[in-house]
């Protein structure tokens, strides 16, 4: 028969173990409660979306890093040269397209000339408006846009944008005017491809050197549109 002192000793040992466990748990919980929360990381309260140049993605930056555009107009000489040159460029394209209805043999060539007229006519006035809004001279020949540029001398109808990339020479225009049928179709397509390639060269310059957003948007749209038209005209030329 087990004696009472031994049973009491066992109970005292168990009680001491339980007490130690409770104390340890309390200490652990107390330490956790007293531990300081980690310092919050600083995050910007807002971000600014900074637009990229045409063809580039926009980026997000902290407000203090935002490079805002200076107040007022931001155009430079490259923008003005592009807009002015493109007006001269479009005016000659309209002159070339006007020859097609009576001279072209291919219905596809006549249809293409109609699209050139429909697209580039309104674009001329949009370009002229860009110049007018900045009190800059508008080349002569823009009907209804109040041209303020120098008038072309009498008899110099073929003088379009001296130095403008891709424009046809007086000799090329004379050959177009004299041609009929399949020969006109060939000269028209070859000349218009040259013309469009010149426009793409102008676009490349202003997208690098210009700084006006509107002028750059016009340039990007011109590049995309005329690049596709070059491929179409090459297909037509191969089919002649």
Q: What is the CATH number of the domain that holds 103?
A: 1.20.1260.10
pLDDT-derived band at 59 (thresholds 50, 70, 90) equals: low
Read off the pLDDT of residues 205-223 as tens digits, 9 standing for 90 and up: 999 999 999 999 999 999 9
User: Is 39 part of a structural domain of the chain?
Assistant: no
Residue 143 confidence (pLDDT): 62
| Res 9 pLDDT > 70 | no
pLDDT-derived band at 235 (thresholds 50, 70, 90) equals: very high
What burial class does residue 233 get, using C-beta atoms within 10 Å of its C-beta: 0-12 exposed, 13-18 middle, 19+ buried?
buried
Read off the pLDDT of residues 60-84 as tens digits, 9 standing for 90 and up: 645 445 344 444 568 999 999 999 9
User: Is 125 part of a structural domain of the chain?
Assistant: yes
User: Is 50 part of a structural domain of the chain?
Assistant: no
Q: Return the structure tokens found at 164.
A: 């403008």
DSSP line for 169-237: PHHHHHHHHH--HHHHHHHHHHHHHHHHHHHHHHHHHHHHH---HHHHHHHHHHHHHHHHHHHHHHHHH
User: Is 104 part of a structural domain of the chain?
Assistant: yes
How many separate domains does the chain show? 1
Q: Which residue has the tokens 């179409």?
A: 232
User: Is 8 part of a structural domain of the chain?
Assistant: no
For 108, the domain range is 77-151+164-238
Q: What is the mean pLDDT of the chain?
A: 75
Which residue has better confidence, 12 or 191?
Answer: 191
pLDDT-derived band at 38 (thresholds 50, 70, 90) equals: low
User: Is 53 part of a structural domain of the chain?
Assistant: no
CA distances to 84, 147, 160 from 87, in Å = 5, 11, 9
| Res 48 pLDDT > 80 | no
| Res 13 pLDDT > 90 | no
User: Is 16 part of a structural domain of the chain?
Assistant: no
Share of the chain above pLDDT 90, in %: 56
pTM over 0.85: no
User: Is 4 part of a structural domain of the chain?
Assistant: no
Contact 50/61 with Cβ under 8 angstroms?
yes
Residue 23 confidence (pLDDT): 39
């Amino acid at each position: 028969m087990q004696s009472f002192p031994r049973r009491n000793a066992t109970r005292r040992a168990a009680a001491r173990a339980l007490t130690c466990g409770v104390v340890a748990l309390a200490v652990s919980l107390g330490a956790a409660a007293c531990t300081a929360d980690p310092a919050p990381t600083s995050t910007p309260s807002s971000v600014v979306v900074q637009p990229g140049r045409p063809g580039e993605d926009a980026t997000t930056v902290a407000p203090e890093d935002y490079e805002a555009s200076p107040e007022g107009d931001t155009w430079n000489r490259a923008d003005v040269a592009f807009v002015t040159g493109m007006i001269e460029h479009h005016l000659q394209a309209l002159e070339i397209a006007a020859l097609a209805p009576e001279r072209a043999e291919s219905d596809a060539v006549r249809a293409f000339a109609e699209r050139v007229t429909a697209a580039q006519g309104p674009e001329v006035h949009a370009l002229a408006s860009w110049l007018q809004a900045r009190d800059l001279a508008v080349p002569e020949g823009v009907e209804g846009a109040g041209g303020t540029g120098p008038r072309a001398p009498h008899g110099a109808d073929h003088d379009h944008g001296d130095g403008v990339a891709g424009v046809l020479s007086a000799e090329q225009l004379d050959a177009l005017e004299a041609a009929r049928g399949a020969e006109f179709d060939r000269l028209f397509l070859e000349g218009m491809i040259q013309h469009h390639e010149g426009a793409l060269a102008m676009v490349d310059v202003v997208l690098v050197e210009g700084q006006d957003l509107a002028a750059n948007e016009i340039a990007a749209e011109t590049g995309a549109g005329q690049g596709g038209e070059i491929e179409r005209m090459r297909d037509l030329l191969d089919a002649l």
